[in-house]
Amino acid sequence: MTTLKKHKTNRTLPAQGVEWLHNPVFNKGTAFTEAERDSLGLRGLLPPYVQTIDQQARRVMETFRSKSSDLERYIQIVGLQDRNETLFYRVVMDNLEELMPIIYTPTVGKACQEFGHIFRRSRGFYISSNDRGKMEKILHNWPTRQVKVIVVTDGERILGLGDLGASGMGIPIGKLSLYTACAGIHPMQCLPITIDVGTDNETLLADPLYTGLRQKRTRGEEYDSIIEEFMLAVEKNFPGVLVQFEDFGNSNAFRLLERYRDRACTFNDDIQGTGSVALAGVLSALHLTGGKLADQRVLFLGAGEAGIGIAENIVNVLVEEGLPLAEARKRIWFVDSKGLIVKDRGNLTEHKLHYAHDHAPCADLLSAVKLLKPTMLVGASGQAKTFTQEIVKLMAEINERPVIFALSNPTSKAECTAEEAYTWTNGRAVFASGSPFAPVTVNGRKLVPGQGNNAYIFPGIGLGIVSTGARRVTESMFIVAARTLASLIRENELAEGRVYPSLQRIHEVSHSIAIAVAKEVFEKKLNTLSRPEDLSGYIRSQMFKPEYPDYTKK
């Protein structure tokens, strides 16, 4: 068993002079001190005035706020990440509520759609189907062996935008930025990867500026062999690394999770992370609606990765609370593109069969709401405006405090807006969304919509796993993370209609979740690192702080 120790970067320092300014890990820009300018050969390469990091951050935010579009803000802020990582994370951490919608959803979706047109500097690692037989070798090209977390996508289902192929790289880059900004996992421990197996997006294939392979998407056994080689190569190069699968298509996501969950330290954020954050929202909502989880009838629109992941987490909690599995699943219903999922429907995929109940066919969501009278309505469909005024008003007739979760991303795909949910229910809805919405005032009362952002969950889980050297990721970790998140909501936040803590508290949230996950790891004996006496203090010591070191000190 390895003893826990504080992470230290293990990377060769740049040579003298301008190389310091061109290396984003070590660059301090105008904050290099007089002594550093002399000792590192920087004299004359910078303006003479030495600035503090606070002054630099002010300049960054002035420029950021002067931009005329969110896409321009995205280009500016990721450009900073490419020049000066310490300053980038200082700015993001200090302005998380303002910047998260830019570096992640919803703006990152637009950035992925325009990826080839706004490409400036390569970030992350690309593996293509042309690299078969060479993956272990080419992974040696990554400049550090300190990688602890990988986020990987094949670009087939980017947010609610569909197949964006290699242009989906913006997603793992953005996710790993949040691992650092929200939970303090050191940026040198993070590796974004895109596996390019082609794309079926004809628009991209015809775009001369598309950066990926010009071929149709590889599928079947050939695809599986690519993923298998990738997973083996990753483990060989970065033993024990946490691999997060991100934005894979439904046909592969569930299958790959089942294949690798007991072989590697891995999870699928679209299934398990979304399930966990939504479960936390459900548990918090019960503080406002009253009643027990076992008394709820939850109706989902959309039976893909997100919807099934949320349902499974709710069911797992109900089973923990004493309900038999079959009874727990009866609390959950799904409507997909063909209507209500019932037993008599043919050709149901395995993950839908668990929620196919005995019931008459039902063609659409409105009819299902009328017949089932759900207490909670959850959207994970990727279909905008599907929670119509008639449906939301019907939910308010059935329930004193209807729970309306419109979780599809990006904002343009939300099933309804916060303003619609609150206005159509006269302020009685308990609302959460996948993308951020502004507060809404109804009858003189300010209501703050909750954002069911996975950033509340996966960074803290990752920190707990990395800090313990966990060998596997278990479903129980997502349950304890959800319970921890729900327990952190404050009375004043509930009074505003929130079901999640303010993002300003995200470091407290991630720290608490990491502790809970670490305890679960030690309890299940999944750790490869010894348990410290002060677990809370140790985990806090692992959290990266964006501060400039003194390079004149050896």
Is 6 buried (19+), middle (13-18) or exposed (0-12) by CB count in 10 A? exposed
- Check if the beta carbon of residue 32 is closer than 8 Å to that of residue 13: no
| Rounded Cα–Cα distance for residues 380 and 413 (Å) | 10
Instruction: Give me the amino acid identity at 489.
Output: I
| Rounded Cα–Cα distance for residues 354 and 405 (Å) | 22
- Check if the beta carbon of residue 356 is closer than 8 Å to that of residue 342: yes
Contacts of 352 (CB under 8 A, 6+ apart): 303, 308, 334, 336, 341
> Which secondary-structure segment (H or E) carries 203?
helix 202-205
Contacts of 420 (CB under 8 A, 6+ apart): 387, 389, 392
The torsion of the CA quartet 512, 515, 521, 527, rounded to 10 degrees, works out to 140
- Check if the beta carbon of residue 253 is closer than 8 Å to that of residue 245: yes
Q: Which of 28, 110, 175, 413 is catalytic?
A: 175
Q: Which of 28, 74, 89, 104 is catalytic?
A: 104
Residue 457 vs residues 146, 461, 463, 479, 505: alpha-carbon distances, Å: 23, 6, 10, 10, 13
Concerning whether 525 is annotated as a catalytic residue, the answer is no
Concerning whether 538 is annotated as a catalytic residue, the answer is no
3-state SS string over 213-278? CCCCCCCHHHHHHHHHHHHHHHHHHCCCCEEEECCCCHHHHHHHHHHHCCCCCEEEHHHHHHHHHH
Count of other CB atoms within 10 angstroms of residue 100? 24
Q: Which residues have a catalytic role annotated?
A: 104, 175
